[in-house]
Amino acid sequence: MTSVAPTGRAAGVVRESLPDAGRPLETEYRPRHPLDLRRTVLVQRRGANDPAFVVAGPVLWRASRTPEGVATLALREGAGGAVRAAAWGPGREWALAQVPALCGADDDPTGFDASKHPLIADAHRRNPGLRLSATGLVFDALACAIFEQKITGMQAFAAWRRLLTRFGERAPGPTPRAMFAPPTIDGWRRIPSWAWHRAGLEPPQAKTLVRAAQRGESLVRSVLAADDGEAVDRVLVSQPGIGPWTSAETRIRALGDPDAVSVGDYHLAHEVGYALTGKRVDDDGMLRLLAPWAGQRQRVIRLIYASGVSEPRRGPRMSINDNRER
């Protein structure tokens, strides 16, 4: 038996009655716009071996710690553009209510003009289903961003995997392999110093995350109460160790901020400059190039990545320093 979900963020969802214990709660989300499920949602994965996000054939599996508890969510494309979703665990109802936002339902491209550059226009035409995904889980996104400060993605993803599998919570449901949801905010704070080191993170990253966790609940409330991306940015960068890059990365994943730009990224300015002009630029140059799309700059960046245009790798890669045995 099914019933139509109420209007609002969950509009477009058809939800089944609460199943018996042990069975998943299921949803069918019918987007009102074209949707490329994988390209939209995979931005939330932290590396190919993320213990909180597994791709198994046509199914995307995501483990998360919702405000109502741990949940495992399985997504797959259905007939007619629908998205079939199933969720397990105490947070399953919250996870299902978040499916539309995760699939970009709250993404508003109003005013976006792709015609201002031929590469953007072509990428936009070829990727009509690209949406900006939002999890609504501010602290998890912040933790991910802090992990990635000033180290390579490979190092950050490995540290994320090690700490989640040791200090996270085993995800419920018939997952294709063992999956883990992140720790609670207090759980992040209680991770011992030696564990951060063994995972491969530097003391500044660990201290930044622990400090953020010490006022994590109020920080999350302040972010969710903020009126716009600039207000969220002010909240986040007021915290020790959190700068514009970390704030932007958090806003991109938690809130689907269409204008967030990760200034200070090791590669981003180079990629934007090469795609739009054929040559490298610095952060200031990148911001000048993106200025015509003010309010939609993250959308432009996502379309650049979707275009497949990438600067050839000629210079040295960022070095990987493994300090775990020091």
Average pLDDT across the chain, whole number: 90
pLDDT at 223: 97
CA distance 113 to 300: 10
Architecture of the structural domain at 2-109 = 2-Layer Sandwich (3.30)
Which has more confidence, 22 or 126? 126
Angle of helix 203-214 relative to helix 138-147, nearest 10 degrees?
Answer: 160
pLDDT in tens, 225-246: 999 999 999 999 999 999 999 9
pLDDT in tens, 199-211: 998 899 999 999 9
pLDDT of 166 strictly over 70: yes
Which positions ≥6 away from 73 have C-beta within 8 Å? 61, 62, 63, 64, 85, 86, 87, 92, 95, 96, 99
Mean pLDDT of 143-172: 93
pLDDT at 317: 52
The structure tokens listed for 161 are: 């995997």
Residue labelled with tokens 């996104």: 141
CA distance 39 to 60: 11
pLDDT at 17: 36
Domain boundaries, the chain: 2-109
The structure tokens listed for 130 are: 């690209």
pLDDT in tens, 79-98: 889 999 999 999 999 999 99
CA distance 159 to 195: 10
pLDDT at 19: 35
pLDDT of 316 strictly over 60: no
pLDDT of 7 strictly over 80: no
- Percentage of the chain exceeding pLDDT 70: 89
Mean pLDDT of 145-166: 92
